[in-house]
Amino acid sequence: DVKVTQSSRYLVKRTGEKVFLECVQDMDHENMFWYRQDPGLGLRLIYFSYDVKMKEKGDIPEGYSVSREKKERFSLILESASTNQTSMYLCASITPVGRVGTGELFFGEGSRLTVL
C-alpha cells in the first residue's frame, strides 16, 4: 500500500523557533510537494521538488525553506516561526502523467502547527 508519512501530527512552537516538518514517501516518486491548508483558502503550494537537491518555489514560499537530500524525504523548514504560520501542513507526492499514472497526488495525514 502506498504511503506518505509526516513525522508529527501536532506541534506547538513559540515565535522565533526553528521548526522542521519531515515527510517520507515509499513510492519512488520524483515529485514531492508541501502545501499549507487554511479554512476558506483551500491548499496553497509552498514549495515543490522534482528531484534530489532540486526545489522550486510555489505560490507562498516566504518564511519557508525546504531540503531534499534523498529521493524519499522532503523536509519543510520554518527558520523563525511566526504566529501567521499557524496552519495545517500537508506533504504530497505525485504519480506523473505518462508513468503509469495521471497526476494523482498522494497525501500524508498532515501536521497541525500552532505558533504561540
Residues that bind other proteins in the complex, under the rule CB under 8 A: 4, 31, 33, 35, 40-45, 48, 50, 56, 58, 90, 92, 94, 96-98, 102-105, 107-110
Nearer to other proteins, 80 or 114 (CB): 114
Nearer to other proteins, 38 or 79 (CB): 38
With a CB cutoff of 8 Å and minimum separation 6, the contacts of 15 are 81, 82, 83, 115, 116
Nearer to other proteins, 1 or 14 (CB): 1
Are 73 and 91 spatial neighbours (Cβ–Cβ below 8 Å)?
no
In terms of phi and psi (left: phi > 0; alpha: psi -120 to 50; beta: otherwise), the region of 30 is alpha
| Shortest distance in whole angstroms from residue 80 CB to other proteins | 27
Q: Cell 505518462 identifies what position? A: 98
| Shortest distance in whole angstroms from residue 67 CB to other proteins | 19
Nearer to other proteins, 17 or 30 (CB): 30
For the beta carbon of residue 20, count every other beta carbon within 10 angstroms: 12
